[in-house]
């Protein structure tokens, strides 16, 4: 049996008939065609699928598409506005916060929510806030840096409290 | 020679804009008109005979186009050649069980494919896979290396004589007799390297479309080496390489797990042929942990001897390597640990032997570092054990036995020539950065208060940049691991460069463009780097693994650019009306010797190259180069780690981590640092958390991210990096490799630090992963 979902994604309305069991992440990727949201696990551990639902970061593999009915979603594709990168996207680029890039959309969406909740996080708060996202490439060092530098740009005062950013040498 | 402008600069990555905005093109992001989905039915048993496979219910399931078993592939996939094994030591190979992409009568590891289901939709395929009714006769599973070696052990394959895949002695034990007889101290240790699951965050995906009219096959997949896959798949499907195209756009991490061919690489295209539709298979995480070729899985028995004054004498190493159910295509590469176990030190003699053992588990194959992390761990642990016996500071013992900077190129015990090094320089820098003396004083204070704090070193070395043909040719069975590049300069001066390596996060699109921009003297924006499509570029590409992409592939780019410049000189001579030998190329301009204003820009020469030229000069400005390195390259460095072990919980906390590494000349420092961060993090995972755990029946008990714990942000400490630069004499760029360095170096520093921390309790050795429960138990035992 099919169910109707009507959602707003990145400001645009979508309506589809879907199976009740269809995961939101599969709906986004396979039905709507927004493939920037990734899948990295089957036990809700990796956070690669993180999007915003009514402004809150959620793992879209833990929700059915039908549960998103009537909600407002933002995916990684909707973060850059008018061709201008979101400061967190810019910071990931500037600070080399990604290597293979597969975990990156999830991290950026999770970080965007984190900074909204806490514009001025310490390093420990960043680490605790993003521990639900896994990256196998970067060792997280530059991801932490990216979030710190985005926080600075977005207006939260920078902070070196907690563990300090990692230094790179020899340039 | 153009003055270097971009090489060495922190250039931001060109691949990032698409990746940070959600516009990457990973294989699962792609689709085709009429696409159908494949699910694999896998053996739940580690070892069993297949009695029957009931497919009727699955066939009737909604959306199902077909259910296929070994029978159905008989005439489509030629086996067992589908899973070739690189003949690293052909003469020593004893048992090499044939492997088919899909089990015939016997399943030999949990997860081995027994049937595939293809359906219109993803979920329909998964549903129908549940309905395939396979009846098994369970057989005893062989799970432990040493059990498997015993005469009379159950066999991993019932039709094979025993479980010994190979037994190779490199240098016999007699050769080290003297070194042990004359020794003042001898230490012995068993060192474990547990099985690891690579876990790139993107699991494997294969999509294939067979065109029955043109008889062409296109595959899109997540792989580190598209050309190798084309070679294997075209052979297995009885097609020429010219009619198979393998495309791999963005790849979400590899770490070695996307090198060798997998069953699905054959099954997906074969099913596309059978159902005449494009077919996609997307691996789940659970499938990936269970079936991605595992790393490590080795036991080392090691003895080392030294004189009272700390002069190292002899080492004897036996490697017992768990091959899994089938020898991995490149699995035997991990035996390189036997040739590298001496580490960065001068030994009088080393004996070594490797025994490959078959078990009923997924195959082991190269995983980031492959053999070199193991070698480093052996060397660095043994040095520390000797230091304890000799009552010497581990720093002093290391220094005493390093080859001096002047001794390079240095020929080590197994005849491998280490190209360049300055081991004291990186150690000195690391000690300073770490504040070694101060940290030792603080340690002494903390110990007085009963705290378990420790400091560990790893003065690691690495062999990489695979590799010289004399070694790699025989090892792979004829294919020399050189690398190719093609440079095409278009009439308006745009440059397309096709490389045989690939990119799964290393940033090659950027570093390769930096090399070419300097070599051609054109702005980087004018250069496009392309890879991951076998229909483009040179006839063969060797792929990305073994920290070879820059040291082999980068040099090929540089050489192809040089060929283009040579041709450009001929063209410039024509339009400048000068003799070819009088043309000088500098900073993207061709000018007449002694007359710098009589010049033509690169773009003008490119345009002229497609116009009218004198007789004997062909149109075009393009070149292909293959670079076969004359030697390997040998990065090195010094990592120092401080830990505090909580005796009450067994938790080991890394409190300081310093790494000073040397990978020769640097193209992009930002990328080098990133590779080190990631490599070290992966090594922390191995040292403290990760292990594939099986029960005695062969059931994997750590099959998800819940139980197989790759580190999150909270587990990775502050890492301080610095570097020294000792150019490599092996190639004209002076570069080495850095992709695996962190992983090769770090486990030894961490475990040495933990051993140092718990040494007051009389504990001499701690194995990986040093999880809280393990350490807690070891501490409890020691206190009894
Ligand atoms: S795919 Fe959603 S948490 Fe991993
Ligand atoms: S950048 Fe590859 S998983 Fe994070």
Could you say which of B201, B710, B723 has the minimum Cβ distance to residue A170? B723
> Between chains, do B725 and A43 touch, taking CB under 8 Å as contact?
no
So what CATH class is A87-163? mainly alpha
> Between chains, do B673 and A96 touch, taking CB under 8 Å as contact?
yes
- Helix, strand and coil percent figures for chain A, each rounded to 5: 35, 20, 45
* pLDDT (tens digit per residue) in B128-180: 999 999 999 999 999 999 999 999 999 999 999 999 999 999 999 999 999 99
- What is the ipTM, given to two decimal places? 0.96
Provide the 10 A C-beta neighbour count for residue B238: 10
Domains A2-78 and A87-163 are alike in CATH topology: no
CA distances from B662 to A138, B418, B553, B587, B754 (A): 19, 14, 19, 29, 25
Asked if pLDDT for residue B92 goes beyond 80, the answer is: no
Q: CA B245, CA B234: separation in Å to the nearest integer?
A: 9
pTM for this entry: 0.96
pLDDT, average across residues B173-188: 98
At residue B312, the pLDDT reads 98
What average pLDDT does chain B have? 96
Percent share of chain A, pLDDT over 90: 88
At residue B5, the pLDDT reads 83
Q: Which residues contact B62 (CB under 8 A, 6 or more apart)?
A: B119, B124, B127
DSSP B205-257: EEEEEEETTTTEEEEEE--S-HHHHHHHHHHHTT--GGGEEEE--B----TTT
pLDDT, average across residues B377-402: 98
Asked if pLDDT for residue B236 goes beyond 60, the answer is: yes
At residue B470, the pLDDT reads 87
Could you say which of A43, A105, A138 has the minimum Cβ distance to residue B674? A138
* pLDDT (tens digit per residue) in A31-47: 999 999 999 999 999 99
Q: Which two tokens stand for residue B94?
A: 């004893």
Q: Nearest CA of chain A to the CA of B218: how many Å? A: 21
Which ligand is the nearest neighbour of the Cα of B16?
A: 2
Q: Nearest CA of chain B to the CA of A6: how many Å? A: 22
Domains in chain B: ranges and CATH: 402-465+632-784 (3.30.365.10), 483-627 (3.30.365.10)
Using a CB-CB distance cutoff of 8 angstroms, which residues of chain B are in contact with residue A166? 677, 718-721
pLDDT, average across residues B538-563: 95
Asked if pLDDT for residue B284 goes beyond 90, the answer is: yes
DSSP A39-103: ---SSS-S-TTEEEETTEEEEGGGSBGGGGTT-EEE-GGGTSBTTB--HHHHHHHHTT--SS-SS
* pLDDT (tens digit per residue) in B510-530: 999 999 999 999 999 999 999
| Site to substitute for ligand 2 among A101, A109, A144, most atoms within 8 A of C-beta | A101
> Between chains, do B718 and A170 touch, taking CB under 8 Å as contact?
no
> Between chains, do B22 and A37 touch, taking CB under 8 Å as contact?
yes
* pLDDT (tens digit per residue) in B74-88: 999 987 777 888 877
Asked if pLDDT for residue B297 goes beyond 90, the answer is: yes
Could you say which of A37, A89, A134 has the minimum Cβ distance to residue B201? A134
Atom of ligand 1 nearest to the CA of A47: 3
pLDDT, average across residues B590-597: 94
Using a CB-CB distance cutoff of 8 angstroms, which residues of chain B are in contact with residue A130? 713
Q: What is the architecture of the domain spanning A2-78?
A: Roll (3.10)
- N-terminal to C-terminal alpha carbon distance within chain A: 61
Banded model confidence at residue B261, pLDDT cuts 50, 70, 90: very high
* pLDDT (tens digit per residue) in A80-113: 998 899 999 999 999 999 999 999 999 999 999 9
> Between chains, do B671 and A96 touch, taking CB under 8 Å as contact?
yes
* pLDDT (tens digit per residue) in A140-171: 999 999 999 999 999 865 444 433 333 333 33
Strand order through the sheet with B595-601:
B583-586, B589-592, B595-601
Percent share of chain B, pLDDT over 90: 95
At residue B676, the pLDDT reads 98
At residue B3, the pLDDT reads 43
At residue B90, the pLDDT reads 57
* pLDDT (tens digit per residue) in B420-454: 999 999 999 999 999 999 999 999 999 999 999 99
Each domain of chain A, given as residue ranges in start order, spans: 2-78, 87-163
Q: Nearest CA of chain B to the CA of A44: how many Å? A: 9
Atom of ligand 1 nearest to the CA of A134: 4
* pLDDT (tens digit per residue) in B338-356: 999 999 999 999 999 999 9
pLDDT, average across residues B561-575: 97
Q: CA A119, CA B372: separation in Å to the nearest integer?
A: 43
């Amino acid at each position: 049996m099919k169910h109707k979902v009507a959602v707003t994604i990145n400001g645009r309305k979508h309506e589809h008939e879907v199976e009740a069991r269809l995961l939101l992440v599969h709906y986004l990727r396979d039905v709507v065609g927004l493939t920037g949201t990734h899948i990295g696990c089957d036990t809700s551990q990796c956070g690669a699928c993180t999007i915003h639902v009514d402004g809150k970061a959620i793992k879209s593999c833990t929700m059915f598409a039908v549960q998103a009915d009537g909600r407002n979603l933002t995916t990684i594709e909707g973060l850059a506005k008018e061709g201008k990168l979101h400061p967190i996207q810019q910071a990931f680029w500037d600070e080399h916060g990604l290597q293979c890039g597969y975990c990156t959309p999830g991290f950026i969406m999770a970080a965007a929510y984190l900074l909204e909740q806490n514009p001025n996080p310490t390093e420990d708060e960043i680490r605790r806030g993003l521990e639900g996202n896994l990256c196998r490439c970067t060792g997280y060092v530059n991801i932490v840096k990216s979030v710190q530098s985005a926080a600075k740009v977005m207006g939260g005062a920078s902070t070196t409290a907690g563990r300090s950013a990692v230094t790179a040498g020899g340039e | 020679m153009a003055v270097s402008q971009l090489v060495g600069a922190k250039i931001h990555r060109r691949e990032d804009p698409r990746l940070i905005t959600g516009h990457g093109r990973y294989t699962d992001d792609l689709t085709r008109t009429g696409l159908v989905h494949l699910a694999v039915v896998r053996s739940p048993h580690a070892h069993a005979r297949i009695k029957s496979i009931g497919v009727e219910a699955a066939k009737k399931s909604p959306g199902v186009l077909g259910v296929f078993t070994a029978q159905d592939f008989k005439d489509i996939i030629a086996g067992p050649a589908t899973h070739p094994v690189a003949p690293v030591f052909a003469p020593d190979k004893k048992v090499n069980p044939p492997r088919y992409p899909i089990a015939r009568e016997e399943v030999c590891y949990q997860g081995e494919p027994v049937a595939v289901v293809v359906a219109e939709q993803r979920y329909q395929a998964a549903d129908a896979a549940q309905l395939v009714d396979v009846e098994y006769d369970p057989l005893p599973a062989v799970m432990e290396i040493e059990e498997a070696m015993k005469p009379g052990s159950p066999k991993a394959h019932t039709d094979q004589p025993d479980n010994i895949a190979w037994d190779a002695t490199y240098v016999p034990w007699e050769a080290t007799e003297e070194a042990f007889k004359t020794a003042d101290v001898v230490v012995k240790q068993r060192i474990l390297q547990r099985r690891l699951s690579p876990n790139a965050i993107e699991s494997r995906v294969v999509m294939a479309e067979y065109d029955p009219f043109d008889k062409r096959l296109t595959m899109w997949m997540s792989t580190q080496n598209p050309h190798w896959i084309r070679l294997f798949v075209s052979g297995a499907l009885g097609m020429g390489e010219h009619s198979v195209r393998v495309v791999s756009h963005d790849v979400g991490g590899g770490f070695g797990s996307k090198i060798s061919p997998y069953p699905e690489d054959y099954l997906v295209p074969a099913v596309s042929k059978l159902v005449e539709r494009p077919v996609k298979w997307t691996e789940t995480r659970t499938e990936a942990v269970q079936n991605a070729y595992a790393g490590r899985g080795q036991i080392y028995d090691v003895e080392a001897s030294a004189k009272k004054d700390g002069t190292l004498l002899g080492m004897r190493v036996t490697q017992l390597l768990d091959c899994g159910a089938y020898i991995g295509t490149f699995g035997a590469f991990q035996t390189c640990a036997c040739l590298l176990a001496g580490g960065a030190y001068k030994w009088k003699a080393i004996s070594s032997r490797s025994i490959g053992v078959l078990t009923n588990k997924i195959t082991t194959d190269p995983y980031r570092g492959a053999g070199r992390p193991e070698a480093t761990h052996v060397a660095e642990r043994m040095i520390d054990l000797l230091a304890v016996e000799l009552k010497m500071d581990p720093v002093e013992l290391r220094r005493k036995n390093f080859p001096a900077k002047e001794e390079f190129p240095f020929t080590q015990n197994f005849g491998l020539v280490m190209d360049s090094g300055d081991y004291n320089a990186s150690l000195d820098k690391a000690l300073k950065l770490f504040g070694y003396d101060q940290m030792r004083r603080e340690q002494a204070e903390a110990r007085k208060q009963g705290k378990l704090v420790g400091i560990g070193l790893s003065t690691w070395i690495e062999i990489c940049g695979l590799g010289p043909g004399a070694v790699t040719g025989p090892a792979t069975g004829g294919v020399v691991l050189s690398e190719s590049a093609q440079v095409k300069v278009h009439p308006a001066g745009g440059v397309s460069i096709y490389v045989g390596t690939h990119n799964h996060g290393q940033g090659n699109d950027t570093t390769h463009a930096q090399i070419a921009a300097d070599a051609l003297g054109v702005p980087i924006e004018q250069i496009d780097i392309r890879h991951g499509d076998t229909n483009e570029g040179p006839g063969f590409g060797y792929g990305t693994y073994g920290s070879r992409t820059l040291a082999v592939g980068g040099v090929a780019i540089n050489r192809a650019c040089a060929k283009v410049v040579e041709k450009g000189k001929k063209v410039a001579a024509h339009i400048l009306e000068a003799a070819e030998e009088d043309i000088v190329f500098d900073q993207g301009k061709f000018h007449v010797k002694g007359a710098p204003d009589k010049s033509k820009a690169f773009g003008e020469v490119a345009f002229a190259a497609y116009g009218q030229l004198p007789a004997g000069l062909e149109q075009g400005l393009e070149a292909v180069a293959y670079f076969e390195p004359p030697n390997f390259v040998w990065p090195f460095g010094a990592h120092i780690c401080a830990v505090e072990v909580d005796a009450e919980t067994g938790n080991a906390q890394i409190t300081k981590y310093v790494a000073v590494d040397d990978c020769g000349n640097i193209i992009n420092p930002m990328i080098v640092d990133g590779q080190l961060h990631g490599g070290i993090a992966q090594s922390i995972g191995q040292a403290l958390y990760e292990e594939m755990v099986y029960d005695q029946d062969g059931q994997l008990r750590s099959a998800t991210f819940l139980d197989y714990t790759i580190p999150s942000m909270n587990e990775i400490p502050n890492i301080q990096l610095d570097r020294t630069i000792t150019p490599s004499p092996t190639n004209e760029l002076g570069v080495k490799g850095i992709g695996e360095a962190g992983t090769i170096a770090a486990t030894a520093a961490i475990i040495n630090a933990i051993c140092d921390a718990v040494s007051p309790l009389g504990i001499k050795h701690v194995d990986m992963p040093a999880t809280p429960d393990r350490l807690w138990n070891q501490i409890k035992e020691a206190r009894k």
